[in-house]
């Protein structure tokens, strides 16, 4: 939610943000794979104040049968925020926002997975937000991509989510909660870094064409760093051959 009015200064006289970051600096990120024993694949991410777990089941025969596609797998991501994940208790269960996020995340993941290899099946991806601090959809896509890799599901590339936007008239990378609330624009993206392909692009707020280009370039650069973290995280569990699917 952009554009709440306030007197808060989001960029100080030294050009630093309220959490001390430079405009093009990411929040700290930590990742882990293989955290849910019963899932076919799983992963956990801490990204700034976000804590998100992803669990993947499948590919398995899709039920109910009428949802099956005869030539490909369907990818069903379910984005859910825990009741305790935000300041005020979030009402449990799907709301308009989580239905939208589930849809856009499903589409982004579908574009990376070789779905045509698994006709009539479903790949279920559960994304549980335990703690939210803005940027959960892009962090959710990133952790889901790790869980899919952990499940051994063949993909054209790992996906990386990353957002950029504008606060106090400055284009910045990876907005935190205050910046998201009181800033001017937020542009969440999902990227396949090897090809530079964009799997998700949304925009909340207003940017000029040049600002949008700048924000997208910032997110693209950061995506390469996050991609390397994903590779390292998978290598730590699987050894050197994670890139050869």
Is 102 a binding residue for ligand ADP by CB under 6 A? The answer is no
Whichever of 31 and 122 has its CB closer to ligand ADP, that residue is: 31
What gap in Å lies between CA 120 and CA 64, rounded to an integer?
Answer: 11
For ligand ADP, what does the binding mask look like between residues 39 and 78, x meaning CB under 6 A? ----------------------------------------
Distance linking the first and last C-alpha atoms of the chain: 39
Counted residue by residue, the chain has a size of 245
Give the dihedral of Cα atoms 78, 3, 174, 157; nearest 10 deg.
40
Confirm or reject binding of residue 120 to ligand ADP (CB under 6 A).
no
Token couple for 22: 């430079």
User: In terms of Cα–Cα distance, which of 169, 11, 154, 177 is closest to 86?
Assistant: 177
Taking the C-alpha atoms of residue 50 and residue 212, their distance in angstroms, rounded to an integer, is 25
Query: Total number of residues binding ligand ADP (CB under 6 A)?
Result: 13
Of 128-147, binders to ligand ADP (CB under 6 A) are: 132-137
Pick the closer one to ligand ADP by CB: 30 or 117: 30
Coil, helix or strand at residue 131: strand
Q: Judged by CB, which is closer to ligand ADP: 13, or 88? A: 88
Decide if residue 150 touches ligand ADP (CB under 6 A). Answer: no
Query: Which tokens belong to 7?
Result: 């007197």
Residues binding ligand ADP (CB under 6 A): 86, 88, 90, 97, 132-137, 177, 180, 188
């Amino acid at each position: 939610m952009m554009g709440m009015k306030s007197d808060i200064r989001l960029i100080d006289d030294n050009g630093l943000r309220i959490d001390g970051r430079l405009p093009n600096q990411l929040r700290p990120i930590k990742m882990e794979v293989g955290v849910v024993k019963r899932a076919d694949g799983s992963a956990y991410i801490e990204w700034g104040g976000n804590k998100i777990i992803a669990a993947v089941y499948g590919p398995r025969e899709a039920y109910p049968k009428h949802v099956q596609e005869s030539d490909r797998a369907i990818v069903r991501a379910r984005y859910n925020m825990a009741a305790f994940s935000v300041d005020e208790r979030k009402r449990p269960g799907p709301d308009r926002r989580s239905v939208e996020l589930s849809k856009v995340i499903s589409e982004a993941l579908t574009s990376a997975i070789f779905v045509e290899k698994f006709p009539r099946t479903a790949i279920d991806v559960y994304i549980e937000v335990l703690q939210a601090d803005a940027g959960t959809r892009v962090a959710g896509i990133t952790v889901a991509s790790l869980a899919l890799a952990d499940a051994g599901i063949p993909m054209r590339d790992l996906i990386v989510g990353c957002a950029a936007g504008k606060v106090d008239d400055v284009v910045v990378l990876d907005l935190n909660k205050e910046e998201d609330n009181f800033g001017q624009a937020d542009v969440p993206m999902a990227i396949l870094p090897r090809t530079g392909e964009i799997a998700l692009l949304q925009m909340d707020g207003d940017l000029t064409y040049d600002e949008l280009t700048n924000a997208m370039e910032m997110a693209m650069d950061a995506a390469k760093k996050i991609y390397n973290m994903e590779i390292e995280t998978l290598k730590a569990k699987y050894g050197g051959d994670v890139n050869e699917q």
